[in-house]
Amino acid sequence: MADTEFDVIVIGSGPGGYVAAIRAAQLGLKTACVESRDTLGGTCLNVGCIPSKALLHASELYEEAHSGALAKWGVKTSGLELDLDAMHASRLEAIKSLTSGIAFLFKKNKVEWLKGHGRFIDANTIDVGGTAYKAKNVIIATGSSVMPLPGVTIDNEVVLDSTSALELAKVPETMVVVGGGVIGLELGSVWRRLGAKVTVVEFLDQILPGMDGEVRKEAAKILKKQGFEIRTSTKVARIERKGEKAVLAVEPAAGGAAETIEADAVMVCIGRRPNTDGLDLDKAGLATNKRGQIEVDHDFRTGVPHIYAIGDVVPGPMLAHKAEDEGIAAAEIIAGQVGIVNHDVIPSVVYTMPEIAGVGLTEEDAKARGHEVKIGKFPMLANSRAKTNKEPDGFVKVIADAKSDRVLGVWMIASVAGTMIAEAALAMEFGATSEDIAYTCHAHPTHSEAVKEAAMAVQGKPIHI
């Protein structure tokens, strides 16, 4: 096989793409991965999941010390100050470590990195920087990018997107976050902890669309207690920059009188859109749907059988771990194995403090699908580890089918909800009932005991409430 011929070419090196490439190579396929950035890892590692978590963790530590929370533990601080440059340096160190780690894994697994922008010449040929590469199979994993707000110019100084909001050189006194979804709340949390007064403007009547209704209400209550101003059912009519500030015109979503809000920084986080432009999909015989997504079948095949698509460019939640699982499955299918992703059991996490997590159906969705449900709830206030750690906020909610007792969904707010949700996902993957979880021994004292107690509450017999 020539140097420009491959069994598999993966376009994009984000969580879905690089994982797909490595798995394909592990299965003995000659594999290349196309990436135009100077580093591998896509949005997630370079300007998304990883750098945001680095700042979230750093800002949590700062707030613990600055707010006096540490003093309650007998840890007294004096002369405390914020070194934002050091925080940014830590963020950049995390990015460098992980992106270079992927480059090492590519070398280890003999995945060839084709540096440049990839576009189809025809269904079996990809152009990268003027060189044509042939592929028996192609996996499109080009991810997504920030969705613009019509009529608003992102200047990356005062009017920000989620990328430039990671790189502010100083803490703004006031910040408006446009969009009450995951990204806006997480990055808003960073700057609120560091001293900004943060207002969240959300078009819908509640924050965190798609999550369980009780979780959404409780999350809003907790965030307001932390100092967020949350304005729901509110539309942003326009954003204008005036000197070093921004002025927003907002109005009720249902219609009504407009008012203005002035802020030192505005972060626009209204969602993401698939990166399908610039691929010349038509030359491969492909088209996108109305949302710009590539439709695929159960095996991630597009309308052209040897071209696959995964991650943010296909329908479904835009989550890194979903893309990873799809990448592994697609590679295994290409290699003649059975690759499966259970899209009914994809956990989601919001990395605020406390964290918010869920998997499966919300109570509202379960009822809408005709399920008669039983609900079990357990407050973190009654969990011994949460009490000991002074982390009383939140609860665990288990939704089970009333007839079969099979778990349909689990939703929670807790300091370590992102870790706790894995148990619920595993239980659901194996078709567990709430009784199965209730009779599984959980270590004491741990936050995860709240999952056991919520499962017990489905049967009406929790111990500690």
Distance CA 349, CA 355 (A): 7
Joined tokens for residue 198: 């943060």
- Of the residues 343, 371, 442, 444, only one is catalytic, namely 444
Joined tokens for residue 166: 């990671």
Distance CA 276, CA 140 (A): 9
Q: How far is CA 104 from CA 38, 50, 113, 130, 325, in A?
A: 14, 18, 11, 26, 21
What amino acid occupies position 83? Answer: D
Question: DSSP code of 294?
Answer: P
Among residues 457, 354, 458, the alpha carbon closest in space to that of 414 is found at 354
Distance CA 130, CA 89 (A): 36
With residue 109 as reference, give the H or E element that holds it.
helix 84-109
Give the sign of the dihedral formed by CA 457, CA 218, CA 357, CA 326. positive
Known binding-site residues for NAD(+) equal 179-186, 202, 271
Among residues 3, 17, 13, 19, the alpha carbon closest in space to that of 134 is found at 3
What residues contact residue 269 under an 8 Å CB cut-off, 6+ apart?
Answer: 146, 161, 162, 177, 178, 179, 181, 183, 184, 187
With residue 333 as reference, give the H or E element that holds it.
helix 320-334
**CA end-to-end distance (rounded Å), the chain:** 67
- The H-assigned helical ranges of 294-416 are 320-334, 363-368, 384-388
Among residues 186, 226, 212, the alpha carbon closest in space to that of 396 is found at 212
Q: How far is CA 214 from CA 80, 101, 354, 362, in A?
A: 38, 40, 15, 9
**Longest CA span, the chain:** 68
- 444 is a catalytic site residue: yes
Q: Kindly provide the b/e burial profile for residues 283-322, where b requires at least 16 CB atoms within 10 angstroms of the residue's own CB.
A: ebebebeeeebbebeebbbbeeeebbbbbbbbebebbbbb
User: Which are the catalytic amino acids?
Assistant: 444
